Amino acid sequence: MEMDIKRLAKLAKLKFTPEEEEKYAAQMANIVAMVEKLPDLDASGPLIDPDNPMEFRHDEVEKKYSRDELLANAPEVQAGCVVVPKTVAE
Amino acid sequence: MDTKGYEVIIGLEVHCELNTKSKIYCSCRSSFGAEVNSQCCPICMGMPGTLPTLNEKVVDYAVKMGYALNCSINPVSKQDRKNYFYPDLPKAYQISQFDIPLCEHGYLDILVDGKEKRIGITRIHIEEDAGKLIHDESFAGTLVDFNRCGVPLIEIVSEPDLRSSAEAKAYLDTIRETVIYLGISDGKMQEGSIRCDINVSVHKPGEPFGTRVEMKNNNTFSGAVRAIEYEAARQIEVLENGGTISQETRRWDDLKNCNFLLRSKEDAQDYRYFPEPDLATILLDEDHLKELKDSIPELPNKKTVRFMRELGLPEEDARQLVESVEKAAYFEEIVAAGKGQIVPKDAANWVLGGISRVINETGKSIAEIGVSAGDLAELIQMLEKKEISSSAGNTVFEELLKATGKHPKEIVAEKGLAQVSDSGVLQQIVDQVVAANEKSVNDYRGGKTNALGFLVGQCMKASKGKGNPAIMREMLLKILNG
Amino acid sequence: MELYRLTAAELSRMMQKKEVSSVEVTRSVFDRIAKKEPEIEAYITLNEENALKKAAEVDEKRAKGESLSSLAGIPVGIKDNICVKGLPTTCASKMLANFVPPYNATVIEKLNASDCVYTGKLNMDEFAMGSSTETSFFKKTKNPFDTSRVPGGSSGGSAAAVASGEAIVALGSDTGGSIRQPASFCGVVGLKPTYGSVSRFGLVAFASSLDQIGPFGRSVEDVAMLYSAICGKDSYDTTTVRREYPRFEEKLTGQVSGLKIGIPDVYFGQGVSNEVREKVMEAAHRYEQMGATLVPVTLPNTDYALAAYYIIACAEASSNLARFDGVKYGYRTSNYSNLEEMYENTRSEGFGDEVKRRIMLGTYVLSSGYYDAYYKKAKFTQKLMQGMFHEAFQKADVILCPTAPDTAFTFGANSDDQVKMYMNDILTVTVNITGLPAISFPCGFDGKGLPIGCQLIGDKFSEQQLLSTAFAYEKAAGGFDLSRTLD
């Protein structure tokens, strides 16, 4: 199975050097060969599990955290906001 | 617009923020305009180890919208992850619904130029909103406010059944009125409560549909109309010049009144949807679904048509009444209180006239204004039967606004506002006026017919406004021409 | 007798009788840590000051006559992927080296309610991805039986700490064997609970549909006590199941008479060492002697299980680990000039090789055009396997097999061959794929003196049966021999 390491890396926001790319390509090929050993079965229906329903949450407001606590782990904070490199507006 | 023989095909994806108290997957307050990052928690900020829990109201509201739009409801459904990186998406995936939405296969009837048109609804699903990016020159980077993360949204996807910007506008207006009627969203455009993505293609009738282009960033309905017209014209021009349309996503810029390429098909994102493993299955039992279905009121599009067809209102009046749940209900109460004795159009005039004026001036609701539908019906009936003059009607209305508890008939009696039609009494007045205004009588007889108006006015004055002007006018003419 | 050598149950009884205090027990454990940690390196973060403070509080409560839980004052080690408010939670990754959560995992809230004392945060494979704890960014934890060997993984720190007396009991997490395999390698007891019986809230997710938190202990009773304290429906985790959960330590009958024990041939087959096979079969025969019957059962092909496991686990991991992007918390590269570079460099520098490999695999199996062939098919394989286990449990009450194909291996033994490394999980992953509970307990040693683990797999929510069955073995064997690692 040929894997487009570059495209996958782009999707996963990872960057590899050409040497790493080569190494990963080889390793991934082995791993993919392993995970291809799936039984031959019909997998056409939807993936849903009606026997496992969930309990919903009631629509009630709860406030437990201050902004300072929530932003304490952020690499860069200004004016009460997390800062990232300039984005083009979408 | 001139479509040069092309047909414009439009499909809309409307995102509507639901007005639940808390967010979709956590208990943070879900409201607009709070201080930055003051309405978040580890869950909506996507902190490691945190898990979502689904707000039951979000499911209920989406199902209500599904019923309102004649959808079939999937009693077993699930949520999925849509994976992509962006700073306003803390988990780097949006929890949405992919292959099994809560509602699908519905329709919505819209009213365009007095005619009803049925627009197919592909699906309605629930998902979470993203945060807000703040671009400000005073900062070197982009600022991220996570308050909006996790605000509940429904996405309503239409079939490509719309054929003009006017139809698209009518569709959007109807969606907006519907969510307001259902009480599931405040429908405030300026706060971004309703936004839409627009798919546009053009083709010559009889030929297959053209390649569609998606347009994002349509934040007002009027902007959406301009965006559609711009994009249709752009595509027609490209085709007319021998070009081809490529499948792409464009961004509408409402200030510059044009759109530009956001990404081409080649850059299309691979969202790697898969079932959200942190949330178990959404299972809706029949009784609960029935309860939700039974809670759906008559919807604005149906009400408008009924007001027109059954109550004989002009389209504009019907629309204006229906725009407000309160006005429409009040109007119907007045008609009911009139027990078939009043003309609905007169009731509409009062609601859209006097009552609306007071609402605008005072900001009060109809309930706060306190004029009962029964009183207004009584007043309308007296006017229709010409028991009082229209100016007396206004006086009665002003009295009703004072909320003294007195009914129109009492007010008319108390203030002596009843219109006099007794010919004996009126003849006496007319004779007196003719006798006292010899000059005007001669003027009329000399050909100055507008002297009649003056004489009628004098009669009204002499009757203290209570004389029936039509009868007195007849009596005057008899004397003058006699 | 040094206090750290005792089990939680023994210490609890002594504390209730006021023969010892929690401060004394906690001190004993920290003295032991001071002595053994340079050699074992089980901890990423130590919590001595808070622990002693908490122990003193518990002693004070006890002195006042307050009624306390059986775990009150017991020093518990916590795997470093479980959030404890105010303590770094690193997942043994550079990515989260400085992350301090402002919230507790639900299991921590529950242990707080039981007045537990936390010794610190335990080493693990980075983001729980590995079977040797070698992928930790910080350190390599040693197997207390032989420090040239790995403790297993990913909860290697938890297993090694409990085995060496650096904690009385510990919490780990099991996504594909990460509790049972290190328990097996380090000669302790480890329980992987039924999916949905323990809240995952606050457990940094590896594979959401497979992850479960579970207990480590030096006795079945300790594991039962800790499990009783952490299980139960949690309104913060919709995948937890509402049902009655007993106090499991009170239900340990030790009776196996009439019990039908399933023996799956295929799990004793290829790749399983002779010594492991023999010792595990000895355990089976011991059960037979105690009145149980051995019955053959057919279980899913191990190749299928391994394939389905790696597809599902990596797919979910690729999505779960996408949030580590340098924006809100954790590592951010200093080398970037735009958003795209910030993302790519942060993630490339912050994650280790094994994590990147799994993210890549997960991205691949979910990507457009491959989803049906891999992810969806794996999910249907999962259903098939659940069906096969369901059938097996019509014939057998529990299923017995080895926990791992072999005993602890040396450092670096599998580092160049990922597939060989992944084969370590071959006997444990089916349990995660099917959501079933399983326990690993020591059933002897190999010729090198390394412990061998026996695995018991039960039907959904059969923890009581599993614990009781393991307890029967422990009683019959006269306890588990950890004299070499506790001395």
Report the b/e string of B427-454 with b at 16+ CB within 10 A.
eebbeebbeebeebbebbeeeeeebbee
CB contact under 8 A, A61 and B36: no
CB contact under 8 A, B280 and A86: no
| Residue among C107, C86, C90, C106 at smallest CA distance from C98 | C90
Boundary residue ending a domain (B246, B274, B292): B292
Bridge partners, residue C46, by sequence: C120
Boundary residue ending a domain (B265, B292, B319): B292
Per-residue pLDDT, B393: 86
Residues B438 and B376 in one domain: no
Element (H, E) at B195: strand B194-203
- The structure's pTM equals 0.91
How far apart, in whole angstroms, are the C-alpha atoms of residue C108 and residue C89? 13
CB contact under 8 A, A59 and B21: yes
Residues B37 and B160 in one domain: yes
Per annotation, catalytic residue among C79, C110, C142, C192? C79
Range from A74-83, B188-197, C357-366 carrying the lowest mean pLDDT: B188-197
Asked if residue B367 is part of any domain, the answer here is yes
Per-residue pLDDT, C308: 95
Distance in Å, alpha carbon of C132 to nearest chain B alpha carbon: 23
C204 → closest Cβ in B49, B272, B277: B49
Q: Which residues contact residue C233 at a Cβ distance below 8 angstroms, ignoring those fewer than 6 apart?
A: C240, C241, C242, C243
At CB < 8 Å, which residues of chain C contact B?
Answer: 81-83, 89, 91, 96, 99, 101-103, 105, 200-205, 207-209, 235-239, 315-316, 318-319, 322-325, 327-329, 339, 343, 363, 366-368, 371, 375
Residues B282 and B193 in one domain: yes
What would the two tokens of residue C254 be? 């030790």
CB contact under 8 A, C103 and B50: yes
CB–CB of C426/C366 below 8 Å? no
B281 → closest Cβ in A13, A53, A87: A53
User: Within chain C, what is the greatest distance between any pair of CA atoms?
Assistant: 71
CB contact under 8 A, B274 and C366: yes
Per-residue pLDDT, C76: 98
CA C455 from centroid of its chain's CA atoms: 13
Confidence of residue A90 (pLDDT cuts 50, 70, 90): very low
CB–CB of C87/C154 below 8 Å? no
The dihedrals phi and psi of B208, each to the nearest 5 degrees, come to: -65, 160
CB contact under 8 A, B272 and C368: yes
pLDDT digits (tens, 9 = 90+) for C362-373: 999 999 989 999
Per-residue pLDDT, B264: 83
Looking at beta carbons, which residues of chain C come within 8 Å of A35? 306-307, 310-311, 361, 365, 374, 378
Number of H helices, E strands in chain A: 3, 2
DSSP code at position C187: T
Distance in Å, alpha carbon of A63 to nearest chain C alpha carbon: 13
- Omega before B391 cis (within 30°)? no
Distance in Å, alpha carbon of B82 to nearest chain C alpha carbon: 9
Range from B31-35, B347-351, C216-220 carrying the lowest mean pLDDT: B31-35
Range from A82-86, B54-58, B184-188, C131-135 carrying the lowest mean pLDDT: B184-188
How far apart, in whole angstroms, are the C-alpha atoms of residue C394 and residue C371? 34
Mean pLDDT of the region B34-61 = 97
3-class state of residue B210 by DSSP: coil
Asked if residue B356 is part of any domain, the answer here is yes
Looking at beta carbons, which residues of chain A come within 8 Å of C318? 12
A28 → closest Cβ in C103, C235, C361: C361
Looking at beta carbons, which residues of chain C come within 8 Å of A86? 338-339
CB contact under 8 A, A60 and B21: yes
Residues B148 and B48 in one domain: yes
Distance in Å, alpha carbon of B122 to nearest chain C alpha carbon: 23
DSSP code at position C291: T
Domains identified in chain C and CATH numbers: 3-252+473-486 (3.90.1300.10)
CB contact under 8 A, A35 and C311: yes
Q: Which residues contact residue C231 at a Cβ distance below 8 angstroms, ignoring those fewer than 6 apart?
A: C193, C197, C198, C245, C463
Handedness of CA C349, C350, C355, C358 (dihedral sign): negative
Residues B134 and B276 in one domain: yes
Number of domains in chain B: 3
C335: left (phi over 0), alpha (psi -120 to 50) or beta: beta
Beta strands in C176-269 (DSSP E): 189-192, 212-217, 260-264
Which residue in this structure is represented by tokens 């695999």?
C361
Element (H, E) at A22: helix A18-35
Complex ipTM value: 0.97
Report the b/e string of B262-295 with b at 16+ CB within 10 A.
beeeeeeebbbbbbbbbbbbbbbeeeebeebeee
CB–CB of C389/C436 below 8 Å? yes
Looking at beta carbons, which residues of chain A come within 8 Å of C235? 55, 57
- Interface membership of B57 toward A (CB under 8 Å): yes
Q: What is the DSSP string of C99-125?
A: ---SS--HHHHHHHHTT-EEEEEE--S
Residues B333 and B433 in one domain: no
What would the two tokens of residue B172 be? 């959007």
Asked if residue B343 is part of any domain, the answer here is yes
Which of the residues in chain C have pLDDT under 70? none
Asked if residue B1 is part of any domain, the answer here is no
Nearest C-alpha in A relative to C306: A35
CB contact under 8 A, C102 and A70: yes
Q: Percentage of residues in chain B with pLDDT exceeding 70?
A: 100
Active site residue C178: yes
Per-residue pLDDT, B268: 74
What would the two tokens of residue B480 be? 């003058």
CB contact under 8 A, C96 and B48: yes
Which residue in this structure is represented by tokens 């799936």?
A38
Distance in Å, alpha carbon of B255 to nearest chain A alpha carbon: 14
Query: Does the pLDDT value for residue B482 go beyond 80?
Result: no
B87 → closest Cβ in A49, A60, A87: A87
How far apart, in whole angstroms, are the C-alpha atoms of residue C10 and residue C3? 10
CB–CB of C74/C119 below 8 Å? no
Candidates A8, A61, A78, partner chain B, best to mutate (most B CBs within 10 A): A61
Nearest C-alpha in B relative to A63: B28
Residues B358 and B249 in one domain: no
Asked if residue B144 is part of any domain, the answer here is yes
CB contact under 8 A, A70 and B142: no
Asked if residue B297 is part of any domain, the answer here is no
- Interface membership of A4 toward B (CB under 8 Å): no
Looking at beta carbons, which residues of chain C come within 8 Å of B40? none
Residues B467 and B378 in one domain: no
Residues B318 and B337 in one domain: yes
* Residues B229-234: contacts with CB under 8 Å, at least 24 apart: B229/B1, B229/B165, B230/B257, B230/B258, B230/B259, B231/B198, B231/B200, B231/B259, B232/B1, B232/B3, B232/B6, B232/B8, B232/B165, B232/B200, B232/B202, B233/B1, B234/B259
Per annotation, catalytic residue among C69, C70, C154, C158? C154
| Residue among C285, B100, B468, C73 at smallest CA distance from A47 | B100
Nearest C-alpha in C relative to A13: C344
Residues in chain A: 90
What would the two tokens of residue C424 be? 């370590």
Asked if residue B2 is part of any domain, the answer here is no
Candidates C82, C96, C203, C320, partner chain B, best to mutate (most B CBs within 10 A): C320
Distance in Å, alpha carbon of A8 to nearest chain C alpha carbon: 6
Range from A69-73, B436-440, C152-156, C314-318 carrying the lowest mean pLDDT: B436-440
Active site residue C154: yes
What would the two tokens of residue A84 be? 């990232």
The dihedrals phi and psi of C279, each to the nearest 5 degrees, come to: -65, -40
Partner chains of A (3+ C-beta pairs under 8 Å): B, C
CATH number at residue B473: 1.10.10.410
DSSP code at position C54: H
- Interface membership of B127 toward A (CB under 8 Å): no
3-class state of residue C373 by DSSP: helix
Residues B352 and B477 in one domain: no
Residues B180 and B247 in one domain: yes
Using alpha carbons, list the distances in angstroms from residue A54 to B283, B437, C195: 7, 89, 14
Mean pLDDT of the region B41-47 = 98
What would the two tokens of residue B380 be? 């309308």
For B104, other C-beta atoms within 10 Å of its C-beta total 18
What would the two tokens of residue C266 be? 């295929």
Looking at beta carbons, which residues of chain B come within 8 Å of C204? 48-49
How far apart, in whole angstroms, are the C-alpha atoms of residue C243 and residue C225? 18
What would the two tokens of residue B479 be? 């004397």
Confidence of residue B200 (pLDDT cuts 50, 70, 90): very high
CB–CB of C433/C444 below 8 Å? no
Boundary residue ending a domain (B415, B444, B468): B415
Q: What angle in degrees, to the nearest 10, is found between the helix axes of B300-309 and B325-337?
A: 30
Distance in Å, alpha carbon of C436 to nearest chain A alpha carbon: 15
DSSP code at position B351: I
3-class state of residue B421 by DSSP: coil
CB–CB of B162/B10 below 8 Å? yes
Active site residue C208: no
Per-residue pLDDT, A2: 59
Residues B140 and B207 in one domain: yes
Asked if residue B116 is part of any domain, the answer here is yes
Distance in Å, alpha carbon of C354 to nearest chain A alpha carbon: 11
| Residue among C133, C185, C175, C180 at smallest CA distance from C154 | C133
Per-residue pLDDT, B262: 85
The domain in which residue B468 lies consists of 423-481
Which residue in this structure is represented by tokens 């407001």?
A61
